[in-house]
Structure formats: C-alpha cells, structure tokens
C-alpha cells in the first residue's frame, strides 16, 4: 500500500479485491486479506463475518441512500420519478476508486455460484428498502415493488456501464448512467403491451 489509510474497512475491501484478482477467490484466505491490508484477522472479523461479505460491503448504506432519495422526492413525484431521485441520491455517493475496482469485483462475482447468489440477495434487499420507501409515500404495494425492481436493475446496469467506460469520460457519471438505464427500462416496460 502506497500510503497508510486509517479506514480499516476500506483497506480490507481493497486488499480482498486485489487478492481475489491475483490468485482467485477460492485460493484467498481471510488471513491473507488481513495481512495485505496491514491488519489482524480479528480486525477483519470486526468488519465482516466472512470473506464473501467483503465483496458486498456497503449494502446497508446503499439501501439507506435509495430509501432517503425516494423519501426526499417532491410529494407529487410519480413512483418512477421518486425512483430516479433515489438513484441520484445513492449513485452520487460512489467514488472513483469504486469505479476502478468495479470490473475486477464483477469478474469475481460472476465466476462463483455462491457469490452470484449473494448478489441476488443483495439486489432483493435493495429493492425491498426502495419499495418500502415508495409505500411510505402512498404508492400501492404492487406498483412500489415493480418500480423498486426497475430502480435496482437501473442501479446495477448503471454501475456496470460506469465501471466499463473510460474513467476520463466526465459525461459518463454513475448518476447519469443509472438515470439513462432507468429510462431504457421504462421504455422497455411500455413496449410490453
């Protein structure tokens, strides 16, 4: 590590992603992750229950940000306008570093059934949080769940696109790409009838 970073959680995430990319997920141990981060195994377990969860750090924060964004949307916003506000709020919190390790993170998850299952669980959790915020706005349950599912799909599609584009492309911000994905999904849903 080039310089000391006081954030142990982030240090562990960086170390894990680096090791998973270098030697594979299955061949990486918690002890190796902790050592690469310059921390102890005990510190690792204070932040994560196992090595799998390192890849999904921030789920609670993302759920909270999506819900806050939907809640803060104007009172007369449609369900999808509230979802768009949620996407803006949540995606604005992502950093260039997260963009940089996105492709490696996605590759590790894609290569393992257990990690794909955990990712599906994460998506369901995000959708549940967003749907609850929409129901709190008075949106009927079925509409809230459908709008939340579209929002979470846009969140993930936007992330994939954001981490795949040239990091110097300032027009390709995560919020803009997530909004564009939501518009595409809305158009696709309208074409179903």
pLDDT, tens digit, for every residue of 85-118?
999 999 999 988 888 888 888 899 999 999 999 9
Q: Which CATH number fits domain 8-53: 3.40.50.150, 1.10.10.60, 3.90.1520.10, 3.10.270.10?
A: 1.10.10.60
Q: In the predicted model, what is the mean pLDDT of residues 59-72?
A: 95
Task: Dump pLDDT digits (tens) for 120-134.
Answer: 999 999 999 999 999
Q: In the predicted model, what is the mean pLDDT of residues 66-76?
A: 97
Residue 49, pLDDT above cutoff 80: yes
Please tell me the predicted confidence (pLDDT) of residue 168.
58
Q: Which CATH number fits domain 58-190: 1.10.357.10, 2.40.50.70, 3.30.1020.10, 3.60.110.10?
A: 1.10.357.10
Residues of the chain with CATH 1.10.10.60: 8-53
In contact, 103 and 164? CB cutoff 8 Å: yes
d(CA 44, CA 51): 9
pLDDT confidence of 3, banded at 50, 70, 90? Answer: very low
Backbone angles phi, psi at 184, to 5 degrees: -65, -45
SS3 content of the chain, % helix, strand, coil (to 5): 75, 0, 25
| Model pTM score | 0.88
- Mean pLDDT, all residues of the chain: 91
């Amino acid at each position: 590590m080039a310089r000391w970073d006081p954030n142990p959680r982030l240090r562990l995430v960086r170390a894990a992603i680096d090791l998973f990319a270098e030697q594979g997920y299955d061949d990486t141990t918690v002890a190796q992750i902790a050592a690469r981060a310059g921390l102890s195994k005990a510190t690792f377990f204070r932040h994560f229950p196992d090595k799998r969860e390192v890849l999904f750090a921030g789920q609670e924060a993302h759920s909270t940000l999506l819900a806050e964004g939907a809640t803060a949307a104007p009172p007369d916003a449609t369900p999808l306008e509230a979802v768009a506000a949620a996407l803006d709020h949540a995606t604005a919190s992502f950093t260039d570093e997260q963009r940089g390790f996105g492709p490696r993170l996605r590759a590790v998850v894609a290569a393992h059934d257990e990690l794909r299952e955990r990712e599906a669980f994460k998506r369901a959790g995000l959708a549940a949080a967003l749907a609850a915020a929409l129901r709190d706005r008075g949106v009927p349950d079925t509409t809230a769940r459908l709008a939340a599912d579209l929002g979470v799909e846009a969140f993930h599609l936007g992330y994939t696109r954001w981490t795949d584009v040239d990091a110097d492309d300032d027009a390709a911000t995560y919020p803009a790409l997530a909004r564009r994905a939501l518009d595409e999904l809305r158009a696709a849903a309208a074409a179903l009838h």
